[in-house]
Amino acid sequence: MATVVTEKLSRLFINLRQLPPLLAPLSPATQHNEAINVWSHLAAAPVLLLRFQRLWQRVDFGQDAHARPLLIILVASLTYLTFSSLAHLLQAKSEFWHYSFFFMDYVGVAVYQYGSALGHFYYAIEPSWHERVRGFFLPLAAALAWLSCAGSCYAKFRFHPACSLPGRLCQELPSGLAYLLDISPVIHRICTSARPEPALLYHKCQVLFFLLGAFFFSHPYPEKWFPGKCHFFGQSHQIFHVFLVLCTLAQIEAVVLDYESRREIYSSLQGGPAYDFSALFLVTVACSVLTAIYMAQRVRSKLGLKEE
């Protein structure tokens, strides 16, 4: 009898070990430094959802064509926050999923980059800057957003973290160029505005928060000052997440204020071919997703060769 019970218990434990890796407990994310990276973005998503819900009560996103860019930037913000949280939560499941979830994270970043460019171009831009860039702004923003996704995916796949310079160039150069283009309507308006506007304070905050976040993304501080003291809390990437969330929240408030107070300006500027922004958004999403899928297949092939 005892032998039978022992055999049944051993079979039970063997079956438990054979559960798919993705069904394993998620407790590691609550026990190391990724916990902060997960919650810093995950906690911001409900705040944006609440803002979205309040806007939905007074903005007709279906009938007001001028509200569609606002809808896109809200969806893009929620997308990148969710994808980033999932990437940091689930990337440790296996080597394949590590790559795949971060590729998904880069898709979210690309979508957010284009959404930001659209929001700034549509609502925040001054007529004089619009006249200069209207012929190429959105197509170039879409191309740079995709290139940012592709460069990040390739850097993740191709370069070892110790080989920092080539990988950083692939990842940060397209993103830097995209940001310079995307933020240019805001910078031009800040520099040329002759009167105080409520949205300008939020625009200035989003620029400041982004620059601070970019610094901590590119430089390993404060862990470089306190070696071995920042494993769980205080890493530069965690600080980058916090500043990026603050940047996004300030940006959304600025865009909402511009949508509400500058209708006379943007309704006279945006029309005709400008409505192609929706198609460009879908193209950006599709190209980024296909790029991530392609790179995930390359990872699968590479891991298969390693196992052989």
SS3 187: helix
Cβ proximity of 190 and 203 under 8 Å:
yes
CATH number of the domain residue 90 falls in: 1.20.1070
Domain assignment present for 223: yes
CA distance 68 to 78: 15
Per-residue pLDDT for 40 more than 90? no
Exposure string over 114-129, b if 16+ CB within 10 A, otherwise e = bbbbbbbbbbbbbeeb
Taking Cα atoms as reference points, which of 300, 295, 246 lies closest to residue 104?
A: 295
pLDDT, tens digit, for every residue of 69-117? 999 999 999 999 999 888 878 877 888 898 999 999 999 999 999 999 9
Structure tokens, 151: 């460069």
Cβ proximity of 175 and 217 under 8 Å:
no
Structure tokens, 229: 């003291």
Cβ proximity of 183 and 207 under 8 Å:
yes
* Domains of the chain: total: 1
Domain assignment present for 163: yes
Residue, of 196 and 201, whose pLDDT is higher? 201
Q: Given pLDDT bands bounded at 50, 70 and 90, which one contains residue 15?
A: very low
Cis peptide before 20 (omega within 30 of 0): no
**What's the whole-number mean pLDDT along residues 36-58?**
83
Domain assignment present for 96: yes
Q: Residue 230 sits in which domain range? A: 31-307
Domain assignment present for 115: yes
Q: What percentage of residues in the chain have a pLDDT greater than 70?
A: 77
Domain assignment present for 303: yes
SS3 content of the chain, % helix, strand, coil (to 5): 80, 0, 20
220 half-sphere exposure, CB direction, 13 A CA radius: 10
Domain assignment present for 63: yes
Cβ proximity of 204 and 212 under 8 Å:
no
**What's the whole-number mean pLDDT along residues 277-305?**
91
Domain assignment present for 288: yes
Domain assignment present for 204: yes
Q: How far does CA 141 lie from the centroid of its chain?
A: 15
